[in-house]
């Protein structure tokens, strides 16, 4: 793999136009599938853009910390994000804040913002938060706010490319109809981008010979060959080495040219995020989501990795298949046990028939393709959030209705903030049900209530509904434990020991589609991971 310094962000020069010889292995139909962002197009170009140590970068930007200063974000005594200067000291998320200080005395340890009991559901950065786990609740709103700004900046840059192409579209021939790039927010710090329609437009602009394609259904005709001159890849990019049976002296085909154009667009997106907001991000550019995601993590920080079609087998061969999405859990364990390996290179020797002998047909077929870099999943511009959950484990237990209601205000504020982000104020979506759960050990008591459709949603409404449900849950607990006065009082105290959760359930634009709206819990290692997509 060839890599060099990622700075400065310099656009690659377009390939020179030379006389075209022979024919490409790709067809005009496949070129049109590229325009349509079809997963069937072998010319498809997908990017995965991932913010580098995102939470740590957010705090560096907020505190205006120089980029060479070691910094980690803490949640209580655990570290949930470490910047790259701190990682050089051997600091990882597996160690405590105290241990990190020993490894690097000058490290900046910034606690996440928190809500605090009794302060009306308002979050703040507090110097003593790490000592107040019993009164504070983690708040990720600052990171979500930065994520929204970054996503907006990315979309603006992509729109700039789109607008530039629209200005020239009338002169690009009858088969253009250029579309916007699709953007899928995969989590708070990563996005997938389907660059295919933009790449298509740039291809037609740079190579006018592609505009004169056949009309009607005669699309099986091969494309003309691209210029045979070697493509000029940007020196800051990481170019994955080709497969064993491929060489760089081979003439490039249109899939290589498409990847080059895609890398130019992604570099421009990353540059815009840096110039406007001072965030660095890494990226992977490949023919599908799986390969792009593996690529983005290969050369962090602040670099982009290009996995050409002719380099897929060489690239995948160095991975454990458990790094591939859907193969990191039970299925991955099963495959490891059945075939005695975790390496993609070993599984490539297994035939489809051998897979089918040990797995069901669907799983065998999927596994056979995925380890060869095949992934037909689409970039979904709007992946609906299924649920929103605000929760806390109480240590020590709380023991009064008044204290429980103070926490309800925090939960209501927490959920309302995310509803606003999800478009409740613009009436794009509206929650339908509010539920409250209490868990003590293995016992869970729950109540839920419909949210009136005619009432504007705000913190007060969520709190009032939650308070009603709380009293119902308390009543359920008392009714199930009434024996003697002493036992009743003990039951009343137990009701506030462990977990209190209001949960907002919602609906998509269609009233028939019910879903559950959510975030994770308050313990280290869970709340910092958010996978809602927009």
pLDDT, residue 389, reads 85
DSSP, collapsed to helix, strand or coil, labels residue 338 as helix
pLDDT in tens, 157-172: 999 999 988 876 655 5
Domain identity same for 98 and 112: yes
Check whether 205 has a pLDDT greater than 70.
yes
- What is the average per-residue pLDDT within 371-378? 93
Does any domain span residue 23?
no
DSSP, collapsed to helix, strand or coil, labels residue 23 as strand
Domain identity same for 97 and 238: no
Does any domain span residue 15?
no
pLDDT, residue 176, reads 60
CATH code for the domain in which residue 347 is found:
1.10.150.20
pLDDT, residue 307, reads 96
pLDDT band at 404 (very low <50, low <70, confident <90, very high): confident
pLDDT, residue 439, reads 79
Check whether 494 has a pLDDT greater than 90.
no
90 φ/ψ sector (left φ>0, alpha ψ -120 to 50, else beta): left
pTM: 0.82
User: Scanning the structure block, which residue is given the tokens 């020797």?
Assistant: 349
Calpha distance 155→496 (Å, rounded): 46
Contact 464, 416 (CB under 8 A): no
Domain identity same for 111 and 257: no
Does any domain span residue 232?
yes
pLDDT in tens, 424-445: 777 677 888 999 988 777 778 8
Tell me, letter by letter, the H, E, C secondary structure of 126-146: CCCHHHCCCCEEECCHHHHHH
Domain identity same for 165 and 218: yes
Domain identity same for 310 and 325: no
> Would you give the DSSP letter of residue 118?
T
pLDDT, residue 386, reads 72
Q: What is the mean pLDDT of the chain?
A: 82
Closest by Cα among 92, 72, 86, 50 to 301: 50
Domain identity same for 248 and 327: no
Check whether 300 has a pLDDT greater than 90.
yes
Domain identity same for 127 and 220: no
Check whether 456 has a pLDDT greater than 80.
yes
Where a domain ends, among 316, 332, 366? 316
pLDDT, residue 388, reads 85
Domain identity same for 42 and 188: yes
Out of 123-132, 173-182, 203-212, 237-246, least confident range: 173-182
Of 339 and 417, more confident: 339
* Two structure tokens written together for 241: 């080495």
pLDDT band at 40 (very low <50, low <70, confident <90, very high): very high
Cβ burial, residue 107 (10 Å; 0-12/13-18/19+): buried
Domain identity same for 303 and 351: no
Domain identity same for 39 and 177: yes
- What is the average per-residue pLDDT within 95-108? 96
Where a domain ends, among 383, 410, 425? 383
- What is the average per-residue pLDDT within 7-18? 46
Does any domain span residue 471?
yes
Does any domain span residue 485?
no
Residue 400 domain boundaries: 390-478+495-503
Check whether 54 has a pLDDT greater than 90.
yes
DSSP 186-218: EETTEEEEE-HHHHHHHHHHH-GGGGSPPPTT-
Calpha distance 91→84 (Å, rounded): 9
CATH code for the domain in which residue 40 is found:
3.30.70.270
Q: How far is CA 170 from the centre of its chain?
A: 36
Beta bridge partners of 108: 71
Out of 106-115, 260-269, 340-349, 468-477, least confident range: 468-477
pLDDT band at 519 (very low <50, low <70, confident <90, very high): very low
Calpha distance 401→384 (Å, rounded): 35
- What is the average per-residue pLDDT within 332-343? 93
Q: Give phi and psi for 288, each to the nearest 5.
A: -155, 175
Q: 396: cis peptide before it, omega within 30°?
A: yes
Does any domain span residue 77?
yes
> Would you give the DSSP letter of residue 93?
T
| Overall number of domains in the chain | 4
Check whether 11 has a pLDDT greater than 50.
no
Alpha-helical segments (H) within 278-307:
289-296
Calpha distance 359→353 (Å, rounded): 10
Domain identity same for 159 and 300: yes
Does any domain span residue 532?
no
Where a domain ends, among 316, 335, 352? 316
Angstrom distances, CA of residue 479 to CA of 75, 80, 403, 491, 512:
38, 42, 21, 10, 35
Q: Edge-to-edge strands of the sheet including 304-306?
A: 182-187, 190-194, 46-51, 281-286, 304-306, 238-239
CATH code for the domain in which residue 455 is found:
3.30.1490.100
pLDDT, residue 218, reads 57
pLDDT band at 387 (very low <50, low <70, confident <90, very high): confident
Domain identity same for 358 and 371: yes
- What is the average per-residue pLDDT within 283-302? 95
In this structure, the chain runs to a length of 534
Calpha distance 424→429 (Å, rounded): 5
Rounded to the nearest 10°, the torsion over CA 16, 19, 25, 30 is 70
């Amino acid at each position: 793999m060839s890599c060099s310094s990622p700075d400065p962000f310099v656009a690659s020069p377009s390939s020179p136009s030379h006389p075209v010889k022979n024919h490409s292995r790709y067809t005009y139909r496949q070129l049109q599938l590229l325009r349509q962002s079809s997963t069937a197009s072998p010319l498809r170009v997908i990017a995965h853009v991932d913010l580098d140590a995102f939470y740590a970068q957010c705090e560096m930007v907020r505190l205006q910390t120089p980029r060479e200063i070691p910094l980690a974000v803490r949640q209580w005594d655990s570290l949930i994000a470490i910047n790259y200067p701190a990682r050089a000291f051997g600091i990882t998320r597996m160690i405590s804040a105290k241990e990190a200080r020993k490894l690097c005395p000058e490290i900046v340890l910034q606690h996440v913002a928190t809500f605090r009991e009794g302060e009306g559901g308002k979050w703040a950065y507090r110097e003593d938060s790490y000592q107040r786990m019993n009164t504070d609740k983690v708040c990720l709103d600052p990171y979500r706010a930065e994520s929204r700004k970054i996503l907006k900046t990315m979309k603006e840059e992509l729109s700039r490319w789109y607008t530039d192409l629209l200005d020239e579209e009338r002169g690009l021939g009858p088969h253009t109809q250029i579309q916007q790039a699709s953007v899928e927010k995969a989590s708070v710090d990563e996005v997938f981008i389907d660059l295919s329609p933009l790449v298509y437009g740039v291809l037609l602009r740079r190579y006018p010979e592609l505009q004169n394609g056949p009309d009607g259904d005669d699309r099986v005709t091969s494309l003309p060959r691209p210029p045979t001159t070697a493509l000029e890849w940007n020196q800051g990019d990481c170019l994955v080495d080709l497969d064993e049976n491929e060489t760089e002296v081979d003439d490039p085909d249109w899939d290589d040219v498409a990847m080059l154009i895609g890398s130019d667009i992604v570099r421009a997106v990353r540059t815009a995020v840096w110039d406007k907001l001072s965030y660095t991000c890494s990226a992977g550019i490949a023919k599908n989501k799986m390969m792009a995601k593996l690529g983005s993590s290969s050369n962090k920080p602040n670099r982009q990795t290009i996995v050409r079609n002719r380099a897929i087998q060489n690239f995948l061969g160095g991975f454990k298949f458990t790094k591939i999405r859907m193969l990191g859990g039970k299925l991955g364990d099963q495959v490891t046990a059945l075939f005695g390996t975790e390496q993609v290179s070993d599984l490539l020797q297994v035939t489809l028939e051998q897979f089918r002998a040990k797995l069901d047909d669907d799983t065998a077929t999927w596994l056979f393709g995925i380890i060869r870099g095949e992934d037909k999943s689409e970039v979904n511009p709007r992946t609906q959030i299924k649920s929103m959950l605000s929760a806390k484990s109480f240590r020590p237990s709380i023991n009064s209705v008044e204290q429980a209601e103070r926490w309800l205000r925090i939960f209501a504020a927490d959920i309302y903030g995310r509803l606003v982000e999800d478009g409740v104020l613009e009436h794009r979506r509206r929650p339908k049900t509010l539920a409250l759960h209490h868990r003590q050990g293995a016992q869970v008591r729950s109540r839920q209530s419909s949210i009136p459709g005619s009432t504007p949603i705000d913190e007060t409404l969520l709190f009032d509904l939650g308070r009603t449900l709380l009293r119902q849950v308390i009543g359920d607990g008392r009714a199930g434990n009434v024996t003697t006065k002493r036992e009743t009082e003990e039951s009343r105290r137990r009701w506030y020991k462990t977990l209190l959760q209001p949960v907002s359930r919602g609906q998509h634009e269609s009233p028939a589609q019910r879903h559950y709206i959510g975030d994770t819990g308050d313990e280290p290692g869970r709340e910092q991971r958010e996978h809602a997509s927009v």
